[in-house]
Every structure is written in structure tokens, then in C-alpha cells.
A and B are shown apart, each in its own frame.
Chain A
Amino acid sequence: MESNAPSRLTAIALTFMAVIWISPFSWLILNAFNPLSTGQLEIPRAVGLDNFAQAVSGNAGRQFINSMMIAAGTATLSVIVGISAAYPLSRLKIPGRNAFLWTLVLLRMLPAAGVLVPLYFTAQRMGLLNQLGVIIALTVLNLPFTLLLLKNFFDTVPIELEEAAYVEGASLFQIVTKIVLPMSRAGIAVVWFFSFTGAWNEFLLPLIFARVQDAFPMSVGLYAAFGQQGAINYGFLTAFSIIYAAPAVGVYFLLRRNMNTGFAGVGVKG
């Protein structure tokens, strides 16, 4: 049977690791639930949700929706554009396709700040200095990685299945939606999740694209909240941070089952 069960020592070491990993959160939690928070690490004398009430009372709701639209929009657009290009790339023997994909990934190594200026000018000219602009810009920046990952996932779907379906009279659309997509579901989930968290965390682009406070996503809102009420209000900041961090964590738990399978495709081929 399974003989490489962990020794007691390994188990203790792992538990220790986990505790260290989680320990920085103590400050966040202690301050967020302390109505009299001072930003110090201390056991609160009172526990309450006042900070959260304060955090959601202001612009947070609006910013939450903005963030959600940007993140879900970017992830969905990336996956749709990615799938419709990655499937042909995976199946058709287009000469030099791998070199092409890797060149794109190489180009994407240009730091985002480097393309920020042309990005801004273009968006300004096209009247896209808004959420749609942020979504499109993030999709453009995501696309090389999305294409590469999705193509690798599609490569792992056996073509014999598609042949069999064709013989049975299935159309291209049916083959893709009934066979290819379900079989690479885990991979698509991983790509969607990456794009979602990436866009949810994105700070620089919305900061430059969002011209009015109503358009701020949470990342910019959090940054802006720093100097607002003169002295830093740590209770508000920590509570806001927790609300801001929650959706990405939530999405992870929703998609967790797919993660390991999805990641198997990340490695392998070039």
C-alpha cells in the first residue's frame, strides 16, 4: 500500500510551515474586527463589525461592482477570444505556430509600464478611457499566455474522439462544444481563474484609465482611501482589504477541484 506516508517529523514541519504562512493575517483580522483599531498588533478590547459597516457604507459597493465587472469581463473575454483562436492553432498544422506563440509570450515580457503610454493615447483617441477600455487592454495583455495555455490543453484532447464524432455526423460546432470544451474544462477553468484574479488585482491600468471616482475599482479605492480622512483609518482599511480579497478567495474555492488537473497542462510542451 501507500508506504510514503509522511513521518511525524514531516507532518510537524508542514504544520509549522502552515502556521508561519498564515501568521501575517493576524494583523489584518485583529484590526478589522476591532472597532477601536489603531493599526497596532494587539488583542482587541472589543470585537465588532463596525469597521465592515463603515467599509461598505461609502463607495465600496460601487467599487466592488466595478471590480467585478472588470475582472469577470476580462476573464470571460480572454477565454472566449482565446478558445476560438487556440483550437485552430492546436489542430491546424500552421507552419511556425509554436515559434509564433513563444514570440508573443516573449513580447509580453515587456513590462506593462512600457506599453502604458501608447495604451493610454490609443484609448483616449478611441474614447475608451472607461471600464470597457480596461477590459480590452487587460485582455490584450493576457492573450499571449491565454493562447499558449489553452493550446496546450487542447493538444491533450485526443483527436480520435473528434474523428469518431465526425463519422457519427457531428458538425464542427458540435465537436467543439460537445467534446473539446468539456474535455478541457479544467484547463479553461484555470485560465479563467488566472485572468479573473489578475484583473481583480490590477492596479496600474484602472488607476490611469479611471478618470472619475465612480469608475474606481476596489484596488484604486483602497489606495485612495489611504490619505482620505487625514490620519490613516486602520479599521476601515483592514475591513476594506478583507472585503476586497474575498472574491478571489471565493472563486478559488469554487474552482479548486479543477486546479490540479488544470495545472498538469501548464508544464509539458512548448
Chain B
Amino acid sequence: MKNQANPWLTSNLWVLGLGMLPAILLIGVLLYFTAWAFAFSFTDLALVGRKSVEWEWVGLENFQRLFTRRGFLESLWTTVIFVFFSAIVGQSVLGFLLAAALRGTRSTLRSVVEVCIMLGWLLPDIVAAFLWSATTAQTGLINQLIIRPLGLPPVNFINDYALPVVTIANIWKGTAWSYLLFSAALDSVSREVVEAAKVDGATPMQRIWLVQLPIIRPHIATNMLFITIWTFTYFPLIFAMTGGGPGRQTETLAVFLYNQSFARGNLGFGSAISVAMLVIVGCLSLVYLRMLREPK
């Protein structure tokens, strides 16, 4: 920490340290909770009943149950589909396309589109769940505007196509984040580079694919990292729309975790689920971080 060049820092080290203290304290609390959750995963602790007081260490039993009992692997698969289509394909690609298309457009059109997308993002989860349940219901907007005029019988989307519906709802809700990030990233690509590519005869497709995308690759990796984490553990929208149903069609890991921990009261097993989720997302993040670090 010998930082002779910055005397206003070195002479005030204790002030800086004091400033960091609250954050260190709160992070300690976070670590403490996390350690607790880890410890729970090796016990048969329950929310209510005898096991809530006289719990025992059960070793790796909870983790064995992840693979031997039905539920976890199915939920994992549902989550993978949900994350892949709603976050990686939906939000990222759509967000990028919108950012690329709106770049340098007239300001009114840009503002209108931006505000429309943002409204989805700003809407509280529970309200968004209402909205999409109503829109995809048998008497909802999609049936009244598209299915009925075609002379087809109304479809109960939220029931018959639950996973696609929550996926679309999440795309609707989350694209704004990717859009904003990509929009800022594209603004940072210098105009000269793009102009030079144009002079060299690159088509618009090539300009995006071969010039702009490689430049903003760190942004893409960061975006992927954040939205993967968020979507992987995203809970309220799905829970409020379907509660995981019908059957278990939309029971992603976050919903499965909630159902096991709080509806069924198996806190030990629930903790094992969250530890498993942490490991999975951790591995995914390492892949993204590698993408971020790697020199071009």
C-alpha cells in the first residue's frame, strides 16, 4: 500500500479505513448468513414441528436426495430452458437488436420505444404477473385480438403453454436492462471505426457482426453474467403467475426451493437446493468471466 504518488490518500488511511467499516460489517453479516445456509444443508432442520428444534446432522443425505428424488433435476431442466430462452436469447438478442436499430435514430422514436420497454421493467413483479395472467387468459388480449378474429376457439395460454408464457413475460420485463447496457456500449464504439469499415465496403450486417460486436465483447460478457444470475434465481414473477404449475411445468429452481423450504418446511433440503444453485451459477459465471478476461 505504498502509494507515495497519492499523499491525500496515504495520509488519510485511517479515514478511508473507517469509511470501509460499515461495508465490511455488513459483508460480514452476509458471509455469516451464507455460512449458516451452508450448515443447514447438512441437517434435517424443518420449519415447524419436532425437527425445527431437535434437528440432526445428516451428512450428505440432502445432496443425495437432489439426485435420487424426483423434482430437482426436472426443475433444473426447466430453469435451463427458462434462462436460455428468456435471458440469453430473448433479452440479450432483442436488447442488442433494439440498441443497434435505435442507434442514431430520430429522438422521438427512440424515446417512445425506450419508454415502452422501460415501463415493462419498472413495473413491480406482482403487477407484471397480473398483467400477463390477464393478457394470456381465455378472455384476454391475445385471444380477443388474434385467436377469435381468426375463427379459432379461445386458448387458455397461461394453462396450456405455461412455460412459454412466463418466458415471454420475463423477456417483456427484462429486455430494458440489456437494451440500456448495449445502448451505452454501442455509444462507446467510436464512429471512426464504423465509418472506416463502411468505406472499406462492409455491409451493415458485417459492420455489426465483425466490427461492433467484437469491440463490445466485454459488455456482452458482463450483461450475460448479470442476467444469467438474475434469471436463474428469479422468483416473484413465476411464483405470482403460476406458482410453479400447472403440475410442475414452470417450477424453476427458485420456485422449487421456495416450495420445499416454506410450503413443505424442509429447510435442510431447501438449503441443499440453494447450495446446488450457487454451485451451478458459480460455474456459469466463471465461464463468463473467462470470456471477459480473454484478450481479443
Residues of chain A at the chain B interface (Cβ within 8 Å): 2-6, 10-11, 13-15, 17-18, 21-28, 39-41, 81-82, 84-85, 87-89, 91-94, 102, 104-119, 122, 136, 139-141, 143-144, 147, 159, 162-163, 165-166, 170-172, 175, 197, 200-201, 203-204, 219, 222-223, 237-238, 241, 244-245, 248-249, 252, 259-261, 263-264, 266-270
Residue of A nearest to B35 (CB): A118
Contact of B222 among A111, A114, A162, A267 (CB under 8 A): A267
Q: Is B86 an interface residue (CB 8 A)?
A: no
| B27–A104 touching, CB < 8 Å | yes
Shortest Cβ-Cβ A-B pairs, 10 listed:
A114-B274, A85-B23, A267-B219, A84-B19, A263-B184, A118-B36, A88-B16, A264-B184, A111-B233, A115-B33
Question: Are A91's CB and B9's CB within 8 A?
Answer: yes
Tell me which of B3, B5, B117, B119 has the highest count of chain A C-beta atoms within 10 A of its own C-beta: B119
Measured in the bound complex, the distance between the Cα atoms of B101 and A117 in whole Å is: 46
CB distance from A184 to the nearest CB of B (A): 15
Q: In the complex, what's the smallest C-beta–C-beta distance from B181 to chain A, in angstroms?
A: 6
Most chain B C-beta atoms within 10 Å of own C-beta, residue among A2, A109, A200:
A109
- Secondary structure at the A interface, as helix, strand, loop or mixed, is helix
Cβ proximity bits B227-269 to A, threshold 8 Å, 1 near / 0 not: 0010011011000100000000000011001100110000100
Contacting pair A264 B116 (CB below 8 A): no
The complex places the Cα of A27 from the Cα of B133 at a distance, in Å, of 10
Jot down 10 A-B pairs with beta carbons below 8 A, ordered by A: A3-B198, A24-B172, A27-B134, A41-B140, A111-B235, A111-B277, A113-B262, A140-B30, A252-B118, A268-B218
A17-B98 contact, Cβ under 8 Å, with A81-B22, A88-B16, A93-B1: yes
Q: Is the CB of A25 within 8 A of B131?
A: yes
- In the complex, whether B62 has a CB less than 8 A from a CB of chain A is no
Question: Does B270 sit within 8 A of A, measured CB to CB?
Answer: yes
- What residues make up the interface of B, taking CB atoms closer than 8 Å to A? 1, 3, 5-9, 12-13, 15-17, 19-20, 22-24, 26-27, 29-34, 36-37, 40, 98, 101-106, 109, 112-113, 116-120, 122-127, 130-132, 134-135, 139-141, 144, 172, 180-181, 183-185, 187-188, 198, 204, 216, 218-219, 222-223, 229, 232-233, 235-236, 240, 253-254, 257-258, 261-262, 267, 270-271, 273-275, 277-278, 281-282, 285, 289, 292-293
Once the chains bind, are A244 and B127 in contact (CB under 8 Å)?
A: yes
Cβ-defined contact, B20 with A15, below 8 A:
no
Q: What is the count of residue pairs linking A and B with beta-carbon distances less than 8 angstroms? A: 274
Pick the most buried of A81, A113, A141, A266: most chain B CB atoms within 10 A of its CB. Answer: A113
C-alpha gap A24/B122 in the complex (Å): 14
| B89 to A: closest C-beta gap in Å | 16
Chain B residue numbers with a CB within 8 Å of A162 are 6, 8
> By the criterion CB–CB under 8 Å, are A172 and B15 in contact?
yes
- Measured between beta carbons, the chain A residues less than 8 angstroms from B281 are 106, 109
Please, how many angstroms separate the alpha-carbon atoms of A270 and B135 in the complex? 40
- Given A10-B101, A25-B131, A81-B26; A264-B185 close (CB under 8 Å): yes
A201 contacts which of B119, B125, B204 (Cβ < 8 Å)? B125
Whether A203 and B185, one on each chain, are in contact in the complex, defined by CB atoms closer than 8 angstroms, is: no
- Known A115-B34, A260-B180, A263-B183: A175·B8 in contact at CB below 8 Å: yes
